[in-house]
Amino acid sequence: MPSSAAVDNPWFRRFNPSDSAPARVVIFPHAGGSASYYLDHANALAPHADVLTVQYPGRQNRYAEPTIDSVPELAEQAYRELREWSDRPLTLFGHSMGAAVAFEVARCFARDGLAGPERLFVSAGRAPSLPRDSEIHRLSDDGMLREIVRLGGTDERILTIPALRELILPALRADYTAIETYRAAPDAVVPQPIIGLVGESDGNATVDQVAQWERHTTGGFDLRVFPGGHFYVADQVEAVVRLVADHLGGETPVRPLSTVRPLD
pLDDT of residue 262: 35
pLDDT in tens, 73-119: 999 999 999 999 999 999 999 999 999 999 999 999 999 999 899 99
Q: What span, in angstroms and rounded, lies between the C-alpha atoms of 143 and 246?
A: 41
DSSP state at residue 67: P
Q: Are 228 and 151 in contact (CB under 8 A)?
A: no
At 201, the amino acid letter reads S
Q: What span, in angstroms and rounded, lies between the C-alpha atoms of 223 and 249?
A: 20
pLDDT of residue 256: 35
Give the pTM. Answer: 0.89
Provide CATH code, domain 12-128+184-259. Answer: 3.40.50.1820
pLDDT of residue 139: 85
Catalytic residue among 41, 95, 137, 230: 230
pLDDT of residue 159: 67
pLDDT of residue 237: 96
Does residue 95 have an active-site annotation? no
Per-residue pLDDT of the chain (264 residues; tens, 9 = 90+): 554 444 679 999 999 998 889 999 999 999 989 999 999 999 999 989 999 999 999 999 999 999 999 999 999 999 999 999 999 999 999 999 999 999 999 999 999 999 899 999 999 999 999 998 778 888 888 888 888 777 776 666 666 777 777 888 899 999 999 999 999 999 999 999 999 999 999 999 999 999 999 999 999 999 999 999 999 999 999 999 999 999 996 444 333 333 333 333
pLDDT of residue 88: 93
pLDDT in tens, 151-181: 776 666 666 777 777 888 899 999 999 999 9
pLDDT of residue 20: 87
Pairing of β 24-28 and β 119-123: unpaired
Four-CA torsion 94, 200, 246, 26, nearest 10 degrees: 10
Catalytic residue among 18, 34, 96, 123: 96
Q: What span, in angstroms and rounded, lies between the C-alpha atoms of 177 and 70?
A: 7
pLDDT of residue 42: 96
Smallest CA-to-CA distance from 125 within 210, 224, 194, 182 is with 210
pLDDT of residue 260: 38
